Each structure stands twice: as structure tokens, then as C-alpha cells.
Structure 1
Amino acid sequence: MSLIVQKFGGTSVGTIERIEQVADKVARFRGDGHSVVVVVSAMSGETNRLIALAHEIQDRPVPRELDVLVSTGEQVTTALLSMALNKRGVKAKSYNGSQVRILTDDAHTKARIRDIDDERLHADLDEGYVVVVAGFQGVDEQGNITTLGRGGSDTTAVALAAALKADECQIYTDVDGVYTTDPRVVDGARRLDRITFEEMLEMASMGSKVLQIRAVEFAGKYNVPLRVLHSFKEGPGTLIALEDSSQMETPTIAGIAFNRDEAKLTVVGVPDMPGIAHRILGPIGDANIEVDVIVQNVADDKTTDFTFTVARGDLNRAQDVLKQVAEDINARDVRSDSKIAKVSVVGVGMRSHAGVASQAFAALAEVGINIQMITTSEIKISVIIEEKFLELAVRALHSSFGLDKEPQDETPA
């Protein structure tokens, strides 16, 4: 039988009733003969409650002590789930990150996993225990409790699956898989049976919230098959794995992702000379502001308009930085637009199919949507458009690429 790592998020363990339901599900897997490691988050709302308590004491809590505090949320869930499993006659043991020894660096509140000591876990699994591990946390070389930041429980699950060489890492959430796009925007959005690590990474980075980017990166690096499943509904979910060259069904496009959290900045009348991009973006980077799409156009008068996008929440800080930059480089003006959005067409099939870009641009033109900026990668085409046209653009692209239809067998006759 298989070794499976299962991860349940805060909503899935948000109440005692739901913890009991999770215990039923885990018990069924154990009853089928599988070895099971379970990773759990804190009960929904608990981490926010603990952080709020910290801020009642300090405006800026000491990171080390904040990690000690918020790590308790997951420990509560591990103990409760282990009790629920034992009540069902399933042997279970709970562990926090330091007991398993999930070794991390010492970057409190955003630590990175360095190593996992799997000896104790293997011993328990060999004795027939279900091992329940607190997600989101670890311990540094000095024995200090650390936390992994946003999406940390997903990362814990994938890291454990890699260390244990698990057959599959199952991520249970409030959706039943990865869809071709957000079903709330497109009625015909279809659940994907399978998607590659590369496609999922692009979908996650472009705005899909099903999985955290760090977890997908980790899974791809160590080739850990991931499966996204609904916590309380039965179904096959979506498998995220390496590209399978033997598959007969090879759709060109996997999905349409989008992100509303975008703002655009343009430095107008920039002197066209070597090093100017660094003089603009260097101070932006120094301010710890991440830049996304970049476009530079050169005019006849030897000046350029330099345009780039940032997260909407960083717009005001970026503007403040650029005002000084514009003065230093003798640019004419700094302009901004916070009412934009990014829409992305994603699919590994782009590598072997020509005309994807032209088809996407034609679909947008047909519904009267103007493209402001374009960026591409080997398996992705992203456009920046006015935010008010976002849902129309997603629907148009989804329909143009036939994502509401089941993929056809492309094997030659």
C-alpha cells in the first residue's frame, strides 16, 4: 500500500465537528492499509487571533516571540485530531515542528526548511501509527521555534512527503481541484484531472489561490506528486505532477489565471541611455518593492517612457521613490494607474503550438478590450488591461481556447 501525506487547512479543521470529519477520512485511508502522515493548520481564525493578542502588547512584536506564540495554534489542532483518531481505534501520535525536527534557517516569521529528520516518523509509521504533524513551523540550529510564513502548512506537507519519499501529497481544501479558471467568473470552468508543476506554478503566481507558490516550487524540485482535493466531498481532485509525454490528451492551454492586485507606474520622458533601467528600478528594489511586467518604448526625441507594474498595495511607496528618481534623471513626469488587472493564458502546450498569442489577442479584440502591456514566458502569455474589463477578458479567452470542453485525443490516427 501507499505512503500518503495529507494536509488539512484551517477551514477543514475549523471546528470540533470538522476535526471529527477529518478523523473519519484519515481513518478510512488507514483502514485501507495506507501509511498516513497528516499535516494540519491552526483552526480557522486562530492565527489571526494570536497575532492580534501580540499587537495588543507590542506594535511590532519581537519576531522570535511572535513565532513562539503563533506556533501554538497548530499544536492545538494536532492534539485534537490525534485524540479523535485514537477514539476511533486508530493509533495516532502528534508532533510539533521541533519534535519532528523540521530544521530551518533562523529567519523568524518567514523561515526556510533546510532538513527534516525522518527517523522518528518512519519508526512510528512502521508500528502502524498515523503521525499528525503541526504545519507552518520548525526549529533553527539553536532550538528556537520558527514559522514558515504564508502557505507554510502546504510547504510543510510537501517537504515531509519529499523527505519520506511518499507516493503522494494530498492537499485538502475548500475546492475540489484546480479549475481552468475561477468558476465564480466563468460558469463553464472545468476541473482539470491533471496539470504540470510548471503550469501550476504559473497559475499560482498569476493569481490562482488554490496552492501557495512555495509549496508548488518545492514539489516540482523534489518531484512530489500533489493532489488537490475537497475536504468533505468525494472526488478524484487534480493531480499536479511532471509533464507526461505518454499522455494522449495534450491540451495547448491549461487555464486562464488573473490578478486584480496590480498597479501601473510610468516614468515619462526618460533619457535613452545605458543604465537608465537600473537607475529607475534599483531604488524600487532597495525599497523592497517587487516589480512584475516591464515595458520600455523609445521615441524619436531620444527619450523613453518606462512602464512597470507593482502590487497595488505598494503603489504609494513606489510613487514616492519614483518622484526622487525622476528628478535625479531629469524625467518629465511620473504617472500611475491603479485600475488595471493582469490576465494570463497558461499551458505547456504552447511549446509545440504556434499562434497562441495571436489567438489570445484576437479574442480580446473581438470584445473590444485594449491591451496595455504584454509579457510572455515559454508557457505563459500575460496582458495588462483595464480592471473593468477583467471578467469579460477571462470569459472571452476561456471560450476562445475551448476550455469549457473536454480535451480531445490528439494522437494521430
Structure 2
Amino acid sequence: MALIVQKYGGSSVRSTELVKRVAERVVATRAEGHDVVVVLSAMGDTTDRLLDLARQVSDLPSPRELDMLLTTGERMANALAAMAIQALGAEACSLSGPQAGVLTTSAYGKARIVDVAPRRVRQALDRGAIVLVAGFQGLNPETEDITTLGRGGSDTTAIALAAALKADICEICTDVDGVYTADPRIVPEARRLDHLTFEAMQEMAASGAKVLALRSVEYARRCGVTVLVRSSSGTGPGTTVSASADDGHGEGGAITGVAHDVSCAKVTVTGVPDLPGTVARVFRAVADAGCEIDTAVQNVPGPEAGVTDVTFLLPGEGAPAAVAALRGIRAETGFTEVSQDDDVAKVSVVGSGMRARPGAAATFCEALAEAGVNIEIMSTAEIRISAVCRTARLHDALRALHRAFGLDKPAVGSGA
């Protein structure tokens, strides 16, 4: 008998009929003799509707009260699923994140899990119940306030529970049947991967792949939790994410896939005085505005100019705050102007094979050139190459890179 943690996203429970289907699958897993813990996201667009309600009563809702409001969506979904499981004749118990022992930092809207004390979860499992835990939320032990975990919070909740309970596996059940070499809606030749290492999955998630949230992969890697990404409605093998590097590709490693991100914005600060500390002051202002810089490039027009231009990527949702913060230090730092460009996308090739492929960067650039895609910013890491291009050329870039790195060919071995 195994202990299995299953997580279902909002699209998998967007209606009561789908909630009943999830309940049937959970009960079937329990009938196989396994202990089961389930983490559900809010139903469909519930979180968006709750945010809209908050804006109807306040232009600037209190972060504390907003967290109190938003956590109701997950609690509702889990309570309904518990009722559906009980209607099928199985014992079930739903718990909020705090009731399940999920402890977090104090940052409303973007708290991080610091510990999980799953005493009540274990008690319910010991009496034979299926336990449902509301994702995306926890309790800060110092303030005793409910907090939300931000983007990917339910994925992280499930993996944190799996780690604390020493579960055999954590299944992330979603509307796709695994992780692909590219988005199959854009690249029809994309293949499902049987296995990825934590390292490769982290890079894919950081580069825009939406199947698993980056924070959840980081947590799984840190705690050694094996994750299985699979369809919420099918029975296919899915994609396993674990520490093992046994991917069947031999010493040279593999190219895992091509990922993309259209949610970024490019910010350019021109005429920055070319003096020690000025670029640091620019980046500090961005950090203090709560934004994370992705890729950055510094261009010096010429040694006689005495100024430099700095261009970097940010999450699109945070770019306006960053630009406002930069304009606030313009007089102090003496730069000329700051601009924001939202019509950009990032495309990345990820894989451990980069280490043994000295010509990877050349292949990357040649593929984009042949497709007529202009590179605006480029960056490289140990197992990733990324470039920024115009949004309109993203699909061409994805298909060209997928083909150039041989990802359209049948896999050898198990697929990662």
C-alpha cells in the first residue's frame, strides 16, 4: 500500500460534474488499497471572480482581507469534493491549509511555506479517511493570520504535504497528459517526455513552461519528492520528475525541450552614467518595487560617451511598478529615460546536453536566423539558452528551435 498525494487544478474541477469525476478517480485510487491525500485548487475562474468582488468594494483592498477572501475558493472546492466522495460511500475529510498544518511566512499574497505539521492529516488517514486539503494557503504562526501562496500555490501545497507525510509519490493531475518537448498547440511534432530531472524541470518552469510552478519544483528538488505529471481524466503514464538522471541518452545527456514565456516585458534604461554603483542603484529600485529581473544586458555606446544603456526582462505584471520606481530615482541617478516594451516573448532551449554540445549557441542562433527571427537579448546558462524576440515571431522561433535540436525525432530511451 502506498501513500499518494494528488493535486487537481482549477480546470479539472471547474464544475460540479467535474468535481464528481475527480471524486470517482480518488475513490478508485483508495479502492486499490492506497492512502490518499488530495489538494484541490479553486473551481475554474473562482479566484478571478473573488478578486472582482474585492475591487467592487475597494479600489485598494487590504492585503490581509484579500487573503481571507481568496482562500474561500479552495475551501469550497475541497468541501464539495469531500461531499462527492462521501456520496460514493467512502470516508472523507476536508481541511483548510492552516488546519492541515501548513505554516508560512507573513507576506500576504506571496507567502512561502516554511514548515508543514500534518498531525490532523495523519490522524484522518489512520482512521481510513481520504483527506482533502485546500491548496494555495497556510497560516503564519507569528501573526496567526491566513496567508496565500501566490502563483502555483496549490502545486507547492501538494508537494510540501508529500514531503511532510513521506508520501511515495505526488501526482499533479492537470488538463495535459504530461510534460512535452514544446507546447503541442504550437508545435504539433512535440513529444511527451517520460522523465525529467528536477534540474531540467526547474529550467523549463523558469523559462515559461506552465505544467508545474517553479516554486513547487524547487520544493520537490529540495525535499526529494518524486512528482508524476499526468492527465486528470486519463490513465496514461504521464511524466515523472525526480532526481534520477537515468534518461537513456548516455554520456552526452539530452536536449529536454523548448519553452516560451509571453508574460514578460522588456524595460530599457538609457543614458545611465557609466560610474560604479549607478547600475546597482537601478537594480535596487526594481527589487524594492517587488520585481525580479530575469535577463539583463548592459550596453556601453562608447568609451567617450560616459553613459551606458541597461535592458532587462521582468514579469509583465510587475513592470509598471518597476518603471514607476525607476522614474522616481531618475534625478538621483542621472539617467536619461526609462521605457517599457510589452510586445516581446522569451524562447528557451533546455537540456543537460548543452554541457556536451559546444556548438549549441551557434545552432540556436542559426535556427532563429533561418526562420527570420531577430534576437533582441540573448542569455546562456549551464543547461539553457534563451532569447527575446517579437511576440509575432514566437511561433516561428519555437518550431525552428524544436526542429534544429532534433526534438521532432523519435526519442531514444525513456525521453528526458
Same fold at TM > 0.5:
yes
Maintained 8 Å contact 1:346/1:381? yes
| Structure 1 residues 314 and 78, CA gap change in structure 2 (3 angstroms) | closer
Residue correspondence of structure 1 range 335-354 to structure 2 within 5 A: 336-354=340-358
Take 2:228 and 2:205, find their aligned partners in 1: how far apart are those partners? 15
Residue 133 of structure 2 corresponds to which residue in structure 1? 133
Alignment length, in residue pairs? 409
The unaligned stretches of length 5 or more in structure 2 are none
**In structure 2, distance between residues paired with 1:56 and 1:325:** 33
SS of the residue aligned with 1:362? helix
Give the ranges of 4+ consecutive aligned residues of structure 1 lying more than 4 Å apart after TM superposition. Answer: 313-336
- Correspondence 1:155-194 to 2 at 5 A: 155-194=156-195
For the structure 1 residues 371 and 115, does the alpha-carbon distance in structure 2 shift closer, same or farther, using more than 3 Å as the test?
same
**Cα deviation digits, residues 127-165 of structure 1 (max 9, x gap):** 322111111222222543222222221111111000001
Q: Say which SS state the counterpart of residue 166 (structure 1) adopts.
A: coil
Which among 384, 393, 400 is matched to residue 397 of structure 2? 393
1:358 aligns with 2:362: yes
- How well do the aligned residues superpose, as a CA RMSD in angstroms? 2.3
- Aligned equivalents of 2:374 and 2:297: distance in 1? 16
TM-score, reference length from structure 2? 0.91
Q: Distance in 2 between matches of 1:379 and 1:115?
A: 31
| Kept after mapping to 1: 8 A contact 2:291/2:319 | no
- The answer on whether the counterparts of 1:104 and 1:113 sit within 8 Å (CA) in structure 2 is yes
1:134/1:180 CA distance change after superposition, 3 Å: same
Offset of residue 254 of structure 1: 0.6
Letter in 1 for 2:2: S
Q: How far apart are the structure 1 equivalents of 2:314 and 2:63?
A: 27
Greater CA deviation, 378-387 or 288-297?
288-297
Given that 2:195 and 2:247 are in contact with CA atoms closer than 8 Å, whether structure 1 keeps it comes out as no
- One-letter identity of the residue aligned with 1:258: H
Alpha-carbon offset, residue 68 of structure 1 = 2.5
Comparing 313-322 and 337-346, the one that deviates more: 313-322
Q: Are the equivalent residues in 1 in contact too, given 2:290–2:318 (CA < 8 A)?
A: no
Q: Is the 8 A contact 1:63 1:109 kept in 2?
A: yes
Return 5+ residue gaps in structure 1 as ranges: none
Q: Quick check: 2:220–2:227 contact (8 Å CA) kept in 1?
A: yes
Structure 2 contact 198–243 (Cα < 8 Å) conserved: yes
1:390, distance to aligned residue in structure 2 (A): 1.2
Matched, 1:77 2:77: yes
CA distance, structure 2, for counterparts of residue 94 and residue 399 of structure 1:
47
Give the % identical residues: 48
**Matching of residues 395-410 of structure 1 within 5 Å:** 395-408=399-412
| Structure 1 residue 52 displacement after superposition | 2.5
SS of residue in 1 equivalent to 2:259: strand
| 1:345-365 superposed Cα distances (whole Å, 9 cap, x missing partner) | 111222233221111112112
Residues 364-385 of structure 1: CA distance to partner in whole angstroms, max 9, x if unpaired? 1222322222111111111122
Q: CA deviation digits over 1:252-305, x for unaligned, max 9?
A: 211111112333333344443322321332323333333221112332425433
Please give the secondary structure, in 2, of the residue aligned with 1:52.
helix
Separation (CA, whole Å) in 2 of partners of 1:310 and 1:37: 36
* Inter-CA distance 265–37: structure 2 relative to 1 (3 Å threshold): closer
Partners of 2:182 and 2:37 in 1: CA distance: 31
Select the residue among 364, 371, 374 that pairs with 1:370. Answer: 374
Distance 1:19 1:394, change over 3 A: same
Task: Name the CA distance, whole Å, in 2 between partners of 1:330 and 1:65.
Answer: 40
Please, what TM-score do these two structures have when normalized by structure 1?
0.91
The 5 Å alignment of 1:195-210 reads 195-210=196-211
- How far is 1:317 from its partner? 4.6
Over 3 Å counting, the alpha-carbon distance change for 1:263 and 1:16 in structure 2 is closer
Instruction: Describe the SS at the equivalent of 1:291.
Output: coil
Whole-angstrom distance in 1 between the partners of 2:292 and 2:39: 31
- In structure 2, do the counterparts of structure 1 residues 43 and 324 end up closer, same or farther at CA, with 3 Å as the change threshold? closer
